[in-house]
Amino acid sequence: MTTDLVVQLLLLGLLQGGIYALVACGLTLIYGVMKIVNFAHAEFLTLGMFLAITAFQTLGLSPYAAAPFIFAIVFILGAIAQQLVIRPALHYPQINQMLITIGLSIFMVGAMQLIWGPNNQVVKLSWARHTLDFPIAAGEVSLNYVRLIAAGLAIAVAAAAWWILKYTRLGNAMRAAAQNPVAARLMGIKVSRINLLTFGFGTGLAALSGALISPAFFVNPTFGTDYFILAAFVIVVLGTMGNFLGALVGGLIIGLAEALGGMFFGASMRQFASLSVFVVVLLFLPKGIFRGRMS
């Protein structure tokens, strides 16, 4: 295997890891604040992809121009789902919460199939197959524009979300509600409102991820579950559940692991390679790479 191909595969792994990171950030944020595992998270990603396709086909908007509007729409839909489905479940045992979010996932898959149909769809940008080529010492590396833009924007959005969580009043309230909801209520924080905003924000990030990758993948109603949900959960646990920065780091690690697995063992072993890294890390760091620390 030539050096330029190795470099290209590693860079593609980092690009994929950047997209994984944004998906996982929304999932870990919801768990960190609300202590609920959202098995419907991947369906919000799929919804973002379908909304991007609709905006492109009906309004002529590129997915990148439509992304802020898609985030806003799914933020509202996520907030509604939180009020109607998730909020009543917060007082149930965790197994019941998991079953409820699985039910929400099944409902969303069915609804998307009714609205958009079961067939594969994609945003057909005229430049989707164009590549950025640059020389290295051993040859030339080519990176697809769509994946490069998607990963760059995903990392930028994830970094902005981390800054909001770390340095704003809303972020402080979210972290307070995550660490001790009873004390947060005594300090005047409306925890129920924070939960509403958190779920809307987390699902909005998933939909935003979907919009960014919509020109790169064919989507159908089960796309998110088929291709992203397992990686997202692996990243969240690897980076420490509830740790936003851990999700960013974990996403890049899993992206690289998949690239290396595909390089040495074939494309069919990519997922096996990432799961192997996951198991090895947890053998030595059972609480994740940030040792159980919340962000």
Residue 8 has pLDDT above 80, yes or no: no
Average pLDDT over residues 21-50: 92
**Through-space distance between the first and last CA atoms of the chain, rounded to whole angstroms:** 40
Average pLDDT over residues 199-226: 93
Average pLDDT over residues 141-167: 87
C-alpha neighbours within 13 Å on the C-beta side of residue 72: 5
Picking from 32-46, 126-140, 261-275, which range would have the lowest pLDDT averaged per residue? Answer: 126-140
- pLDDT above 70 as % of the chain: 94
Average pLDDT over residues 190-215: 94
How confident is the model over 79-128, as pLDDT tens digits?
A: 999 999 999 998 889 899 999 999 999 999 999 999 999 999 988 887 76
Residue 150 has pLDDT above 60, yes or no: yes
The pLDDT-based confidence of 243 (bands split at 50, 70, 90) is confident
pLDDT at 46: 97
Q: Where are the alpha helices (DSSP H) in the chain?
A: 3-34, 41-59, 63-81, 87-89, 94-116, 145-167, 169-179, 181-186, 191-213, 223-227, 229-238, 244-265, 270-284
pLDDT at 237: 85
pLDDT at 230: 83
The pLDDT-based confidence of 144 (bands split at 50, 70, 90) is confident
Q: Are 233 and 41 in contact (CB under 8 A)?
A: no
The pLDDT-based confidence of 6 (bands split at 50, 70, 90) is confident
Average pLDDT over residues 175-193: 90
Average pLDDT over residues 263-278: 78
In the chain, domain spans: 3-284
User: What radius of gyration, in Å, describes the C-alpha atoms of the chain?
Assistant: 19
Reply yes or no on domain 3-284 having CATH 1.10.3470: yes
pTM of the model: 0.90
